[in-house]
Amino acid sequence: MSEKRMLFTKDHEWVLVEGTIARIGITEYAQNELGDVVFVDLPTVGDTVEEGEGFAVVESVKAVSDVYAPVGGTVVKVNEELESSPELINESPFDQGWIAEIEIAEGTQLDDLMNAEEYKAFIKEA
Amino acid sequence: MTSKTGVPLLFEISSPGRRGYRLPELDVPEVPVDELIPTEYLRQQEAELPEVSELEVVRHFTQLSRLNHGVDVDFYPLGSCTMKYNPRVNEDMASLPGFTAIHPYQPEETVQGALELMYNLGTYLAELSGLHSATLQPAAGAHGELTGLWIIKAYHEANGEGHRNEIIVPDSAHGTNPASAMMANYKVVEVPSDERGGVDVAALRKLVGPKTAGLMLTNPNTLGLFDENICAIAEIVHEAGGLLYYDGANANALMGIVKPGHTGFDVVHYNLHKTFSTPHGGGGPGSGPIVVSEQLAPFLPWPVVAKEDGRYVLKRPEKSIGRVKSFYGHFSVLVRAYAYIRSHGAEGLRQVSEAAVVNANYLMHHLKSLYHLPYDRHCKHEFVLSGKLQKEQHGVRTLDIAKRLLDYGVHAPTIYFPLNVDEALMIEPTETETKETLDAFIAAMRRIAEEAENDPESLKSAPHYTPVRRLDEARAARQPILRWKKE
């Protein structure tokens, strides 16, 4: 399970780092809180994003929420499947519901992100 | 496609050749339509309109109207935030021919009465807000926000401070605040709430600086809580060179009690359709006048009504940002708000706010033993409960509670807003509800809390007694059926 290797933010995004590429999505907890996702506004390939910047938008029946970039860098790939099937975020948040891949900017620290265990404890508190 | 409400669509009852109205015989020579209008603009096929009698149309819309729930039917805890009760006298006044039979192009001297009404209304709003002068043009609250921000921007630019490009917005703000700031080309900076639900003053102190153009604040905020630190907040923003914008969405709590201008605000908007009982909530149109301090008055949109030698004239303020709406705003809505203010008087408006606040606190007091109350302190005109106990203990969510309320003949309150409360239920009864109605609402909420405990499944499938049951909201958003299509 790649979930074990994922890192997490306090805003409920997950990151899976492979070399210099970070794949990003929102967590099971986040999708459950949002309810049925009806629209995803994806970033554009080539966009530069700063850490903490809202770089995608997820709209559910309840609310419209920004997805914040857990790492800074350049968007190299987006999950176009979400355009026609936004429900993938509900059905498979950690796998088919990934949102974008970012080429991580040099010198980026991942120290502020939580590991799976820390994140689990974090949502229990919330 | 068949309507699920049990009321057939007009297209379904259509019968070829049936007519609701027939024109009399022509008494002038008939001219073929293609001699009057170029053929490229003429349709090639007959329009496929439903063919029905007058009575069928009347019955159709009357039946549909009986499926509606509104403030004229029963309790409606969305409150002034959506629309409070519109006293009928407002409608009487707005339908006077002196108001309905005038035209915006008439010369000023022939519409002195209409100008006087606008002048007085602006003066009353200035009095209520503790500020200097008003524009009545903005078409709704968010439009007022945008206008206010443009004025703030013009003011900074006139002072050689056009580099101020940040607007600070609390995390509990209405979504329109950051949206308006973005529209006005500002960068939005979010300030968190403190544990009492107000602006985190220490965090604000760190956020302000030479880039701060202003702060937008709703007070009382969306939790229905009055920000006790407002004077300190104003001082911090002003010292940094920024201005304070008051979002008037919750002004129903403060009329005649607190003047926003006296707590440091420089720009105030009022939603006439919220606070001053003009129609809204799908009926509209809205109206969002703004009132500004003396230093901002030269930047107001033009025209503004001024009084010179006993006559009312239209003027262009010296550094006006321009027009924000054609003509004078939604004039007939202004008449309704004026009628509301005049029929209540200063003392009456204060009583409106007092009753709104007492009603909300009465509900909050009785409901807090049944539902989690995240901020347990006196509220103003509204308060926010959380359905988190029901969710954690019985798997019942706020959506289920809201749906079940429909079965008890009550419109659901705002849910899942504000975003900083988990499973939020925002309840605003307004000043016009009787104690009996409030007690009936408390009883319904109590029964629902019991059902969550004893029969959670029935809540999850609610509503059970409405014309349509639980709707598939995701499908409605993804694949909306917006019009009838021939099969």
pLDDT digits (tens, 9 = 90+) for B460-484: 999 999 988 998 888 888 888 888 8
Cβ contacts (< 8 Å) between B419 and chain A: which residues?
A: 63
**B486 in any annotated domain:** no
Residue A126 inside a domain? The answer is: no
Q: Answer yes or no: do B274 and B215 share one domain.
A: yes
CB proximity A83 to B under 8 Å: no
Beta strands in B344-422 (DSSP E): 383-386, 414-415
Closest residue of B to A40, CA-based?
A: B478
Pick among A33, A36, A39, A90 to test the B interface (most B CBs inside 10 A): A36
**Residue entry with tokens 């890192």:** A7
To the nearest whole Å, the CA of B260 is away from the closest chain A CA by: 30
Sign of the alpha-carbon torsion through B73, B74, B75, B76: negative
With respect to residue B411, please indicate whether it lies within any of the assigned structural domains: yes
Identify the bridge partners of residue A40 per DSSP, sorted by sequence position.
Answer: A58
CB pairs under 8 A between A and B: 21
* Higher-confidence position of A92 and B486: A92
In B219-303 the beta strands, taken as DSSP E runs, fall at 243-247, 267-269, 290-292
C-alpha torsion sign, points B59, B60, B62, B66: positive
A51 inside domain = yes
pLDDT (tens digit, 9 = 90+) per residue, B398-423?
A: 999 999 999 999 999 999 988 888 89
Nearest to A61 among B175, B419, B477 (CB): B477
* Chain centroid, CA B431 distance in Å: 17
- Axis-axis angle for helices B331-367, B112-129 (nearest 10): 30
A61 within domain boundaries = yes
Query: Do B157 and B219 belong together in one domain?
Result: yes
Name the residue of chain A whose CA is nearest to B175's CA: A64
Same domain, B410 and B321: no
Domain that holds residue A19: 2-116
Per-residue pLDDT of chain A (126 residues; tens, 9 = 90+): 577 889 999 999 999 999 999 999 999 999 998 999 999 999 999 999 999 999 999 999 888 899 999 999 999 999 999 999 999 999 999 999 999 999 999 888 888 899 999 999 998 876
Q: Is residue A57 part of a domain?
A: yes
Q: Same structural domain for residues B198 and B334?
A: yes
Question: What is the domain range of residue B48?
Answer: 10-66
Digit-coded pLDDT (tens) for B26-79: 999 999 998 999 999 999 888 889 999 999 999 999 999 888 888 888 898 988
Higher-confidence position of B161 and B2 = B161
Q: Which of B175, B417, B477 has its CB closest to that of A38?
A: B477
**Which comes out higher in pLDDT, residue B382 or A111?**
B382
B340 and B374 housed in the same domain: no
Q: DSSP character for B372? A: B
* Shared-domain flag, residues B259 and B153: yes
Domain count, chain A: 1
Q: What per-residue confidence (pLDDT) applies to B130? A: 98
* Residues B102 and B215 occupy one common structural domain: yes
Contact A87 B474 (CB under 8 A): yes
Mean pLDDT for the stretch of residues B135-157: 97
Contact status of B47 with chain A (Cβ, < 8 Å) = no
Predicted pLDDT at B1: 43
Domain's final residue, options B344, B372, B399: B344
Domain assignment present for A121? no
Quick check: ipTM above 0.90? no
Give B407-453 as a 3 state SS string. HCCCCCCEECCCCCCCCEEEECCCCCCCHHHHHHHHHHHHHHHHHHH
B390 assigned to some structural domain: yes
Q: Are residues B55 and B169 in the same domain?
A: no
- Domain membership of residue B5 (yes or no) is no
Contact state of B416 with A63 under an 8 Å Cβ cutoff: yes
Q: What is the pLDDT of residue B114?
A: 97
Residues B296, B395: one domain?
A: no
Contact (CB<8Å) A38/B474: yes
Domain at A47, CATH number = 2.40.50.100
Q: Which of B473, B475, B479 is the best substitution to test chain A (most A C-beta atoms within 10 A)?
A: B473
A40 is a domain residue: yes
Instruction: Tell whether B473 is within 8 A of chain A (Cβ).
Output: yes
- B207 lies in the same domain as B246: yes
Task: Indicate the range of B145-149, B273-277, B349-353 predicted with least confidence.
Answer: B273-277
pLDDT(B190) > 50: yes
Question: Which CA distances in Å does B27 have to B24, B30, B466?
Answer: 9, 9, 52
Q: Smallest Cβ distance to A61: which of B175, B417, B474?
A: B474
Residue B82 resides in a domain? no
pTM summary value: 0.88
Average pLDDT, chain B: 94
Number of domains in chain B: 3
pLDDT of residue B4 exceeding 80, the answer is: no
**Residue B228 belongs to some domain of the structure:** yes
- Domain boundary among the residues B326, B344, B362 is at B344
Does residue A89 lie within any of the structural domains?
yes
Domain end among B328, B344, B360: B344
Output the pLDDT for position B420: 81
B271 and B139 in a common domain: yes
* Domain assignment of residue B192, yes or no: yes
Q: Is residue B78 part of a domain?
A: no
Q: Which residue of B has its CA nearest to A124?
A: B392
Q: What is the mean pLDDT of residues B316-321?
A: 97
B75-129, pLDDT tens digit by residue? 989 888 777 898 999 999 999 999 999 999 999 999 999 999 999 999 999 999 9
